[in-house]
Amino acid sequence: MSRSNPSPVERRTLFSWHSERLLPYWLLAPAVVVTVVIVFMPMAQAVFTSFYDLILFRPNASKFVGFGNYVKLFNDPVFWTALWNTIIWIGLTVPLQMGLGLVAALLLNREFPWRGLARALIIIPWALPSVVIALMWRWIYDPNTGVLNDILIYLSIVQSAVPWLADPKVAIYAIIATLTWQGFPFFAVMILAGLQGIPRSQYEAASIDGASTWRQFVHITLPGIAPVLATAGLLRVIWVANSMDVIFVMTGGGPGYATHTLPLYAFVKARQNLDFGYGTAIAVTFTILLGAFVVLYLSRTMREVER
Amino acid sequence: MKFLKTLALGAAFAVSAAFGQARAETVRFWYHFDNPANPMSDLVKKFETANPGIKVEAENVPWNSYYDNLYTALVGGNAPDAAMVKLFAQPRLAEMGALEPIGKQLDAWKGKADLLDNLLDLNKGPDGKQYYLPIQYVVLYLYYRTDLFQAAGLQPPKTCEDFRNAAIRLTNAPQTYGFGLRGGKGGWDQWGAFVLSQGAELKPGGLTRPEAIAANQWLVDLFQKDKVIPPSAPNDGFQEIVAAFKSGKTAMTIHHIGSSKDLVAALGDKVSAVPVPKCGNGQWTSYGDESLAIFSSSSVKDAAWKWISFLAEGQNNVAFNGATGQLTVTKSGSADWKLHERRFVEATVQSLPFARVLPQTSAVSEFVNTAWQTNMQQALTGQITPKQMMEQLQTLFAQ
């Protein structure tokens, strides 16, 4: 009886081997399973679909075309227009959001009455649903009834109403302005948290040494919030790149192809024209392009974790 | 023997009663109403009281993604049993094998004779079978501001030349413009009044005819050269053209009776309507249809038929249209129609003789959904010429 049972010491090592080696995996398992089922499986299926000529309302005419969709894609002028728009979209939106966020954070970090209220209010653009923001700005920009043109005409900045969203040269910048407004609170809050982590004593020491406000900003503040800027910036590149809801509601990608970005083009092809083969080929190509940023982000967070 | 018969009959009754109880059928129905105060729940209640064995789950699906959701649900095997559908979708739905023919049920239905003449013919499927049961209709016509026309000493335009002259006279940019063009999504039916009327057709070679290209050039010139259309036109959708017309920014626009209530509320007697102008030798306007269809994947087709035919009957149809602001498809309902001002009903009826639907081909769906809009916007903003626009659209209708 007593021989068949392991001694308390034996049992403890056996059990602790189980718990210490396997416990993390057990704890991770639910998240991994969910991610595999709802992220990786559809991703694999998207790659698979992109090798087919699959139009949803002709399910029986579906056939394997190998890299056919990709060849078509690289010869498609709309793809290149959309790629260029995507570069402008990310290249302007993220730095503008970051710049505005930095200014807002520096202001909010100062002492002034009602600071708590100001900090709470600044979150509002970030907290509103994208579709609400898009509809709101669509009316703000409206040349016939919108408030922006009214103000500009009243101040004699322009002579007649500017068709912000109907002019292909201006439309994408108008939407970028909207998205900048929507996204800067994210940076403001992240940077504010970073600012508060910088010890006061460093500023005191610098001012005793006679450093100007600008030099304090360059040599203490910026290095202090650099890790936050890098992580938040990378994260935001990925989010902004993928976000198409605001564009879709404001212009639907128009006029013409002037505000088509790659995710929007993929959506229009797959969901509106029901051309799933071609639509997923666009999405897969874009994922590969964005992959570089994802790798950068992952390697950064890995380093942070190991630190 | 008699006893046995009675017993068998009783048993049969009991079985059928039990069966009927167990099979309280549910009809899943999709529709789209813009009107937030929609009476669908009243109609459902009325139907369920009259048909105790059937439950109706009616779902209001947002219009902007209505067809995206419908096609996806059909392919994904989770389609409703019946839904509101438009003619332009019929070829795709038929190609998918998603539609259930309803010809037999229609013939046996007492409401058939009450349907307005010609509607069933207009709604016939590409293979000649009947899949659609009409539920409401509208016809596009020209809204104009009576006060502005009177002040300028103008008559409502009858021809394209009149129309252009009036638009030029009524334009005082940037305060007012002659015509509110819908250059964004869904504007193809306005475009049709000016271009499809002058010999353009959605078929091989039909868009690149010289007269079709000239007509398109004329329309784009209204925007680029005559400047009688607000500069916002390339991105303007329904909300924008209606808002501009209500605010007095534009003096004319093209839409249907569905917006008349809203316009009268804002403008009163200062708004009226006439048929769209005659351009060249032709006149074309869009017949805006809406029908109900049963899907072949449904397992409760009989119950679904009862529900959709209920909605197309006399007073039920009037109640239905009370919510959508469109016109009833029944003769009994039209006889004493009180939902709209007389002048808008008249403009609609006068437009019926030349009201058309687009040809029923799969390419037309792409034309309506995305292609027309992107090409029109490019032409209006000068990225391509009106001729290039027609050539690019022609590629959709190559075969």
Cβ(B136)–Cβ(B321) below 8 Å? yes
* Residue in chain B lying closest to A251 (CA): B235
Cβ–Cβ pairs < 8 A, chains A and B:
101
What pLDDT is attached to residue B91? 84
- Min Cα distance A158 → chain B (Å) is 12
What is the mean pLDDT of the segment spanning A261-289?
91
Pick among A45, A57, A251, A268 to test the B interface (most B CBs inside 10 A): A57
Which carries the bigger pLDDT value, residue A116 or residue A301?
A116
What pLDDT is attached to residue A5? 56
CB contact under 8 A, B377 and A271: no
B91 at A interface, C-beta within 8 A: no
B25-137+288-340: CATH architecture: 3-Layer(aba) Sandwich (3.40)
B223, burial (CB in 10 Å: exposed 0-12, middle 13-18, buried 19+): buried
The rounded radius of gyration (Å) of the Cα atoms in chain B is 24
What pLDDT is attached to residue B14? 47
What pLDDT is attached to residue A14? 52
B19, burial (CB in 10 Å: exposed 0-12, middle 13-18, buried 19+): exposed
Does the pLDDT of residue B354 top 60, yes or no? yes
* Residue in chain B lying closest to A170 (CA): B381
Which carries the bigger pLDDT value, residue A297 or residue A114?
A114
- Give, as one character, the DSSP assignment of residue A59: G
Tell me which fold the domain B139-286+356-397 belongs to.
Answer: D-Maltodextrin-Binding Protein; domain 2 (3.40.190)
Q: Which residues of A touch B (CB under 8 A)?
A: 56-59, 142-145, 159-161, 163, 165-168, 171, 251-258, 268, 271-274
3-class SS letters over A16-30: HHHHHHHHHHHHHHH
What is the mean pLDDT of the segment spanning B140-150?
94
What pLDDT is attached to residue B87? 87
Contact list, A57 vs chain B (CB under 8 Å): 71, 75, 92-93, 95-96, 362
Does the pLDDT of residue B141 top 50, yes or no? yes
CB contact under 8 A, B174 and A160: yes
The residue ranges of every structural domain in chain B are 25-137+288-340, 139-286+356-397
Write the ipTM. Answer: 0.74
Domains of chain A by start residue, with CATH: 68-306 (1.10.3720.10)
Contact list, A161 vs chain B (CB under 8 Å): 174, 231-232
What is the mean pLDDT of the segment spanning A235-250?
90
Does the pLDDT of residue B20 top 80, yes or no? no
Cβ(B394)–Cβ(B208) below 8 Å? yes
* pLDDT tens by residue, B248-300: 999 999 999 988 888 999 999 999 999 999 998 899 999 888 999 999 999 99
pLDDT band at B17 (very low <50, low <70, confident <90, very high): very low
